[in-house]
């Protein structure tokens, strides 16, 4: 059981947009920064978003994120088949003194 | 090139020990927090623990699932972080990753923590089985 809650899967057609939610509590998302990771099958995770809504260099602006209260959302526009991957939200939990993740969301681009 | 390379994984019997290494290159290793993560087959990411640098007395934090069994250390002269795993259980079977952790804190009335992992190794596989 993950501390953060994500939908197990989302899907959309190429060119469309999708939103992946991440829900937590005041001890994690509510008071700390959120990051997002992309993980293709059999490979290491890759940082997609940090500090709630910032993109590292090299990440296209099709990827965006926001945070409100105890929830965060990753948005992807102009979907490509190459975006099919698992996406994880992560943050620090001040009560647990631990980095915590959501269970991951598998994106299917139909 | 900023890079992390894990090694030391393998097949080990329950109850035995294993030490993983994470060799860093391309950045000033001692300036950074290093975190370990794992991913069991078909499962999501799980944080294992972290070690801060000398500036923060190399303090460590661990996940409840490994506290007392796993120990993280570092050798800044060799640019290596270690994960010593003792009393291994079958449920410790996973791919283990190390990552550079951009830990920071801000105080805006309350303490706001920032942890994001901007560099990851490719991982090393640990299988605990008799």
pLDDT over 90 (residue B107): no
Q: Is the dihedral of CA B38, B60, A52, A70 positive or negative?
A: positive
CA distance A43 to chain B (A): 7
pLDDT over 90 (residue B109): no
Contact of A97 with chain B, judged by CB distance below 8 Å, is answered with yes
Q: Chain B residues with CB-CB distance to A under 8 A?
A: 35, 37, 44-47, 50, 61, 63-64, 97, 99, 101-102, 110-118, 120-123
pLDDT over 90 (residue B113): no
Interface test with B, best of A99, A101, A102 (most B CBs within 10 A): A99
In the structure, what pLDDT confidence band is assigned to residue B52 with cuts at 50, 70 and 90?
very high
Number of CB atoms found within 10 A of residue A69's CB: 11
In the structure, what pLDDT confidence band is assigned to residue B108 with cuts at 50, 70 and 90?
confident
Chain B residues with CB inside 8 Å of A91's CB? 113, 115
Interface test with A, best of B113, B118, B121, B124 (most A CBs within 10 A): B113
In the structure, what pLDDT confidence band is assigned to residue B12 with cuts at 50, 70 and 90?
very high
**CB proximity list for B96: less than 8 A, separation 6 or greater:** B6, B9, B20, B36, B37, B38, B48, B83, B123, B124, B125, B126
In the structure, what pLDDT confidence band is assigned to residue A94 with cuts at 50, 70 and 90?
very high
Q: Is residue B36 within 8 Å of residue A100, measured between CB atoms?
A: no
Chain A residues with CB inside 8 Å of B122's CB? 43-44
Arithmetic mean of pLDDT, B40-69: 95
Q: What is the pLDDT of residue B106?
A: 84
């Amino acid at each position: 059981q993950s501390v953060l809650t994500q939908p197990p899967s989302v899907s959309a057609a190429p060119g469309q947009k999708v939103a992946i939610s991440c829900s937590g509590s005041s001890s994690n998302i509510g008071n700390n920064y959120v990051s997002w990771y992309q993980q293709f099958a059999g490979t290491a995770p890759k940082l997609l978003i940090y500090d709630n809504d910032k993109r590292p260099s090299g990440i296209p602006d099709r990827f965006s994120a926001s945070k409100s209260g105890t929830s965060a959302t990753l948005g992807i526009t102009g979907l490509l088949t190459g975006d099919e991957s698992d996406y994880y939200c992560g943050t620090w939990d001040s009560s647990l003194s631990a980095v915590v993740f959501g269970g991951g969301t598998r994106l299917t681009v139909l | 090139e900023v890079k992390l390379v894990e090694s030391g994984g393998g097949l080990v019997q329950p109850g035995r020990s294993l030490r993983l290494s994470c060799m860093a290159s391309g950045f000033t290793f001692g300036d950074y927090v290093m975190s370990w993560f794992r991913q069991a087959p078909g499962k999501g990411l799980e944080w294992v623990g972290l070690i801060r640098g000398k500036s923060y007395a190399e303090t460590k934090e661990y996940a409840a699932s490994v506290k007392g069994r796993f120990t993280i250390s570092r050798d800044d002269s060799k640019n290596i972080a270690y994960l010593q795993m003792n009393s291994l259980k079958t449920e410790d079977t996973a791919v283990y990753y190390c990552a550079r952790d951009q830990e920071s804190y801000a105080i805006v009335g309350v303490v706001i923590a920032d942890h994001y992992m901007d560099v990851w190794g490719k991982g090393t596989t640990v299988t605990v089985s008799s």
